[in-house]
Chain A
Amino acid sequence: MKQLKILAVDDDPFTLKMLDKKLAKEGYDIETASDGVEAGKLISKKFYDIIITDLVMPGGVDGIDVLEAAKTKNKQTEVILLTAHASVENAVEAMRKGAFDYLQKPVNFYELTLCMEKIKNYKKLLKNAQDLREAMDVTEQNAAQTIQLLEMNVAELNNVVSEIRQVIMNQSIDPNKCVARVLDIVSS
């Protein structure tokens, strides 16, 4: 699977630096933003697979706003919220709004990488499901064309057969004329 693009957002420079260093070391392609406003600008310009954002930030754009901006831009982006113990209720609210998960601060990097692995697996499963669905759609479309063509042909042949049957059953028709009429029906 391609390298995941990550955006980390936090007004605390220490946390941000730690996230940047550790996740880059894990092999992720990571960028950082020091508040919600900066994050909003980056989100509007490019796609991120995962956004890790602090919930409470100064400057009028908080973690929930970052989540909403990310989801509006692209539903495929998954968001992890970082929250202080006191704001767990807000984090639950964020989950309702479509966040993938939330982690309590200070960040436990083992927990964070577990969460990232979960997102990776989730995205892989999603891709598999989409591939399978596409394969199924193509197969179904091909089958539908063939079946519908056969269905119409069979119906047409059934009509011909019943017309011929009517002619043959009609004993008042002269046998020679009967053959001629049957040939007419078949050739039309």
Chain B
Amino acid sequence: MIKDKRDDIKEISKYILDISGINLDESKAYLIETRLGGLIKEYECSSYKELRSKAETDSNKTIENKIIDAISTNETLFFRDREPFEVLQHKILPDLIDRRTEKASGLLPIPIRIWSAACSTGQEAYSIAIVLKELLPDLKKYNVRLFGTDISDSAIAQASYGTYNKFEIERGLSKGKLEKYFIPNGGNWKISDEIRAMVSFNKGNILKPFAGVEKLDIIFCRNVAIYFDLEERKKLFENIASVLEPDGFLIVGSTESLTGICPIFEPKRYLRTIYYQLK
């Protein structure tokens, strides 16, 4: 790669790291070129440096948001990997409810607070909501608060809208669940109002400090940290530990490991998968 071009790529990589935490070193130059090529043309820039300076001076952050959308990977599906949702249904929720019921006064509904961190287009959060609905038919007895956050505006918009095309639906959902929890909408499928109402979606960068965030019982943070460098990963899981209840649960991606990243978490095995709790 010629030096000027390499410097240009470095310039935009640093900017992407600053705005999103996503670490794209020189070896990922191809990714930057394929994903940002369209924006270079759209904003008539002669270099990535120029795109960066246009993004930085754009007060309504349209360009920044477009860069985040282009660079982030929204690979997700309903009930991805299946096992984390089985652990949630058969181990985590029953354990949590038992403990919270012991503590509860009996007057107020039992709180269950769950966070789908970097929720992308919402499939994980809705899968969690479906598990809750199936496990707890008497949902009114509980004060369930289920949050989904993502850095991408367009991902959050799709998640909030709750509409998925046939390819998104085909992956991970059984016919029974599809018919029970989705409504045909043109050629697409829309999540039912009942499930939609259980989740609230907001834009958020998980690498920024979680100031003012209430403590959570269960956190799903799957296949996100893989895009960050080691230091950012450490920061992320330390932040997560700071907002997790002492007896709360953390679920990470099936190929992720916290060894050497965050020693305050202890892995626990259930069936064929692992979840984490604070030591």
Query: Which A residues form the contact surface with B (CB < 8 A)?
Result: 71, 75, 96-98, 126, 133, 140-141, 143-144, 147-148, 150-152, 154-155
Contacts and interface: CB of A to CB of B under 8 A. Distances in A.
Given A75-B170, A152-B269, A154-B259, A98 B186 contact: yes
A96 B259 contact: no
Contacts of B269: 148, 152
Interface string B86-115: 000000000000000000000000000000
B255 A75 contact: no
B187 A151 contact: no
B186 A96 contact: yes
Contacts of A71: 187
A155 B266 contact: yes
A154 B257 CA distance: 11
The B interface, classified by DSSP as helix, strand, loop or mixed, is: loop
A140 B254 contact: yes
Nearest 6 CB-CB pairings of A with B: A98-B187, A144-B254, A96-B186, A143-B255, A151-B267, A154-B259
Interface in B117-167: 166-167
Given A97-B186, A148-B273, A140 B166 contact: no
Interface size range on B against A: 10 to 19
Interface in B256-279: 256-259, 266-267, 269, 273-274
B186 A151 contact: no
Most chain-B Cβ atoms within 10 A of its Cβ — which of A126, A133, A147, A148?
Answer: A148
Given A97-B186, A148-B274, 18 more contacts: A71-B187, A75-B166, A98-B166, A98-B187, A140-B81, A140-B254, A144-B81, A147-B255, A148-B254, A150-B257, A151-B257, A151-B258, A152-B269, A152-B274, A154-B259, A155-B259, A155-B266, A155-B267
A76 B52 CA distance: 42
A151 B274 contact: yes
B101 to A, nearest CB: 29
Nearest to B185: A96
Nearest to A71: B187
A133 B76 CA distance: 12
Nearest to B276: A151
B84 to A, nearest CB: 11
Contact of A96 (B171, B187, B256, B274): B187
Interface in B227-267: 254-259, 266-267
A151 B255 contact: no
Contacts of B259: 150-151, 154-155
A152 B257 CA distance: 10
A98 B165 CA distance: 10
A144 B254 CA distance: 5
A150 B269 CA distance: 12
Contacts of A96: 186-187
Contacts of A148: 254, 267, 269, 273-274
A143 B259 CA distance: 15
